[in-house]
């Protein structure tokens, strides 16, 4: 009975940790299996490390303050890069310890090793150094094994100067030129981080806009902001080809330039970590990118097996993964399901500047047939942004004309990922733009921009109604 658990969770990232904690809170005996040397998964080794790199780069190079005060810290490039690496390592270590503490406080057993399903109720764990396998039996299994960068065929990733979004975080010396291929969140984050560190960056996106899921206006402003930083942004570039020889890497852009950067970073999506888990033998369904197929409660097609987090595919957000893990644990043990807010999960991009959104883009709202009104507030006119020396940005609200229901909110600026939660809360409670008009905000704050965006939308609404009445 010592090796029998009510719940075995494979993977200790955001989905696995939160699912395990919820099950343990409800009195279940839980084991978490982790093959990496430290727990935390992509939250520690990916999400947080990239965001820490961003903050460290801005701080160590005075990136945001040079144009305001005409002066800043002038570290040697080697010291700046080392400072970024040191700070990132400190934060990663702290957060990994936090995960361990959380598991310990819930009485969850953390087992290091590689897991494989022999049956829906039997998990084999091979120790990190090899040796005799440990057999666990369980009433339920959660697969929360995360994902890894997708490697398109034909790209020489074995070359030292061809990096993916994992190895890009490990650069330990300054580089003069970098080409980043991709236009998603990770590509934009790395491109802006390297730019802040003084690299000459070329960002190559095959499609017509950065962040294809984002509001078109916000994506355009991000592109303009990148170019103002000195970044070369190539949109609609088609599929860039990467090759390497003894002299380094070569990036060929269809119909465009041939580039010879010191490093090339490919950030073109992710694939699920499903190899060697025994899924094929057990009959667990997966898709072409290695993502596990699940239902609305994150149950797989095999009874007794659930999956959550990056391994089930987009949106691959830590916040969403946590919610997915909790939903799966509740379903596994018949616990009451909470009213999940996944339909309105905010999206955040930790580039320089940040981008965040919740709900529908302007185009998507109009495509539904709604009569949509848009209100905007420019952060260039915001007192707090001016005081802090932050970049020009925008708060954009899309709402329905007839009842003023807030349909979507979009922010670009230094604090976008924080600001967006105000709009999310209004939308979760079915609110209208009148909330922002009636609420009192501290002044000066960037939050005030929501009020002025609402006023702008209201003025557009009233102007249109006046024209209609007078027609």
* Structure-block tokens of residue 377: 């507030």
- What lies within 8 Å, CB to CB, of 224 at 6+ separation is none
Within a domain: residue 178?
Answer: yes
Q: Is a pLDDT exceeding 90 seen at residue 123?
A: yes
Give the pLDDT of residue 139: 96
Residues 359 and 240 in one domain: no
Q: Is a pLDDT exceeding 80 seen at residue 428?
A: yes
pTM of the model: 0.88
Give the pLDDT of residue 62: 65
Is there a contact between 125 and 115 (Cβ–Cβ < 8 Å)?
A: yes
Residue entry with tokens 């020396």: 389
Rounded average pLDDT over 127-135: 89
Within a domain: residue 40?
Answer: yes
Alpha-carbon separation of residue 177 from 72, 107, 192 (angstroms): 23, 49, 13
Residues 141 and 284 in one domain: yes
The number of angstroms, rounded, from the C-alpha of 223 to the middle of its chain's C-alpha atoms is 19
Within a domain: residue 199?
Answer: yes
Rounded average pLDDT over 52-61: 76
* Structure-block tokens of residue 437: 């008009």
Within a domain: residue 157?
Answer: no
Residues 263 and 276 in one domain: no
pLDDT-derived band of residue 38, with 50, 70 and 90 as boundaries? confident
Within a domain: residue 194?
Answer: yes
Within a domain: residue 154?
Answer: no
Rounded average pLDDT over 175-184: 95
Give the pLDDT of residue 53: 78
Q: Is a pLDDT exceeding 80 seen at residue 137?
A: yes
Query: Which of 313, 343, 373 lies at the terminal end of a domain, its last residue?
Result: 343
The CATH number of the domain holding residue 264 is 3.50.50.60
Rounded average pLDDT over 442-447: 94
Give the pLDDT of residue 469: 38
Within a domain: residue 156?
Answer: no
Rounded average pLDDT over 80-89: 78
What is the number of domains present in the chain?
A: 3
pLDDT digits (tens, 9 = 90+) for 199-210: 999 999 999 999
Question: Which letter, b or e, does each residue of 76-98 get, where b requires 16 or more Cβ atoms within 10 Å of its Cβ?
Answer: eeeebbbbbbebbeebbeebbee
Q: Which of 32-41, 154-163, 234-243, 450-459 has the lowest mean pLDDT?
A: 32-41
Residues 11 and 142 in one domain: yes
SS3 per residue for the chain: CCCEECEEEECCCHHHHHHHHHHHHCCCCEEEEECCCCCCHHHHHHHHHHHHHHHHHHHHHCCCCHHHHCCCCCCCHHHHHHHHHHHHHHHHHHHHHHHHHHHHHCCCEEEECEEEEEECCEEEEECCCCCCCEEEEECCEEECCCEEECCCCCCCCCCCCEEECCHHHHCCCCCCEEEEECCCHHHHHHHHHHHHCCCEEEEECCCCCCCCCCCHHHHHHHHHHHHHCCCEEECCCCCCEEEEECCEEEEECCCCCEECCCEEEECCCEEECCCCCCHHHHCCCECCCCCECCCCCCECCCCCEEECHHHHCCCCCHHHHHHHHHHHHHHHCCCCCCCCCHHHCCEEECCCCEEEEEECCHHHHHHCCCCEEEEEEEHHHCHHHHHHCCCCCEEEEEEECCCCEEEEEEEEECCHHHHHHHHHHHHHCCCECHHHHHCCCCCCCCCHHHHHHHHHHHHHHHHHHHHHHHC
pLDDT digits (tens, 9 = 90+) for 310-352: 999 988 888 899 999 999 999 999 998 875 546 788 999 999 9
Residues 144 and 10 in one domain: yes
Residues 417 and 378 in one domain: yes
pLDDT-derived band of residue 464, with 50, 70 and 90 as boundaries? low
Give one word for 359, left, alpha or beta, with left for phi > 0 and alpha for psi -120 to 50: left
pLDDT-derived band of residue 376, with 50, 70 and 90 as boundaries? very high
CA dihedral of 75, 76, 82, 86, whole degrees rounded to 10: -10
Q: Which of 9-23, 83-97, 309-323 has the lowest mean pLDDT?
A: 83-97
The CATH number of the domain holding residue 409 is 3.30.390.30
Residues 362 and 427 in one domain: yes
Residues 336 and 448 in one domain: no
Highest mean pLDDT among 80-94, 329-343, 372-386 belongs to: 372-386
Q: Which domain holds residue 415?
A: 353-470
Residues 300 and 204 in one domain: no
pLDDT digits (tens, 9 = 90+) for 277-288: 999 999 999 998
Give the pLDDT of residue 70: 57
Residues 144 and 280 in one domain: yes
Give the pLDDT of residue 68: 57
Among candidates 396, 398, 391, 427, which has minimal Cα distance to 411? Answer: 396
CA dihedral of 332, 335, 339, 343, whole degrees rounded to 10: -10
pLDDT digits (tens, 9 = 90+) for 256-278: 899 999 999 999 989 999 999 99
Is there a contact between 232 and 261 (Cβ–Cβ < 8 Å)?
A: no
Within a domain: residue 153?
Answer: no
Q: Is a pLDDT exceeding 50 seen at residue 17?
A: yes
Query: Which of 343, 365, 394 lies at the terminal end of a domain, its last residue?
Result: 343
Residues 261 and 170 in one domain: yes
Query: Which of 268, 298, 323 lies at the terminal end of a domain, its last residue?
Result: 268
Residues 172 and 137 in one domain: no
């Amino acid at each position: 009975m010592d090796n029998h658990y009510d719940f075995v969770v494979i993977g200790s990232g955001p989905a696995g940790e939160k699912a395990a904690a919820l099950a343990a809170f409800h009195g279940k005996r839980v084991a978490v299996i982790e093959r990496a040397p430290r727990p935390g998964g992509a939250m520690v080794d990916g999400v947080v490390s990239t965001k820490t790199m961003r903050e460290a780069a801005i701080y160590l190079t005075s990136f945001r303050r040079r144009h305001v005060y005409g002066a800043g810290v002038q570290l040697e490039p080697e010291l700046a890069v080392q400072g970024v690496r040191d700070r990132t390592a400190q934060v990663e270590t702290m957060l990994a310890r936090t995960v361990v503490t959380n598991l310990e406080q819930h009485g969850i057993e953390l087992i290091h090793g590689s897991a494989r399903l022999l049956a829906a109720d039997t998990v084999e764990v091979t120790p990190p150094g090899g040796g005799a396998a440990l057999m666990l039996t369980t009433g339920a299994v959660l697969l929360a094994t995360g994902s890894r960068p997708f490697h398109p065929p034909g790209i020489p990733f074995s070359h030292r100067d061809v990096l993916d979004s994992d190895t890009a975080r490990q650069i330990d010396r300054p580089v003069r030129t970098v080409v980043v291929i991709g236009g998603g969140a990770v590509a934009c984050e790395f491109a802006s981080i390297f730019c802040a560190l003084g690299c000459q960056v070329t960002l190559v996106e095959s499609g017509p806009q950065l962040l294809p899921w984002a509001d078109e206006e916000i994506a355009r402003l991000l592109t303009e902001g990148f170019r103002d930083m000195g970044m070369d942004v190539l949109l609609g570039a088609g599929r860039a080809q990467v090759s390497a020889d003894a002299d380094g890497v070569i990036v060929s852009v269809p119909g465009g330039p041939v580039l010879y950067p010191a490093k090339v970073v490919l950030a073109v999506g992710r694939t699920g970590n499903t190899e060697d888990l025994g899924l094929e033998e057990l009959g667990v369904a997966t898709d072409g990118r290695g993502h596990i197929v699940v239902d609305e409660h994150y149950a797989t097609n095999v009874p007794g097996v659930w999956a959550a987090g990056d391994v089930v595919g987009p949106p691959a957000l830590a916040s969403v993964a946590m919610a997915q893990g909790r939903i799966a644990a509740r379903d596994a043990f018949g616990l009451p399901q909470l009213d999940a807010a996944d339909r309105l999960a905010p999206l955040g991009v930790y580039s320089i500047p940040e981008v965040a959104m919740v709900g529908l883009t302007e185009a998507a709202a109009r495509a539904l047939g709604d009569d949509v009104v848009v209100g905007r507030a420019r952060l260039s006119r915001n007192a707090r942004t001016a005081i802090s020396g932050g970049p020009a940005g925008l708060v954009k609200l899309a709402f329905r004309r007839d009842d003023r229901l807030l349909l979507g909110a979009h922010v670009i600026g230094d604090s976008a990922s924080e600001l967006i939660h105000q709009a999310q809360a209004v939308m979760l409670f079915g609110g209208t733009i009148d909330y922002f008009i009636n609420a009192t905000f501290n002044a000066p704050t960037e939050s005030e921009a929501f009020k002025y965006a609402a006023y702008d939308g209201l003025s557009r609404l009233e102007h249109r109604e006046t024209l209609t009445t007078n027609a």
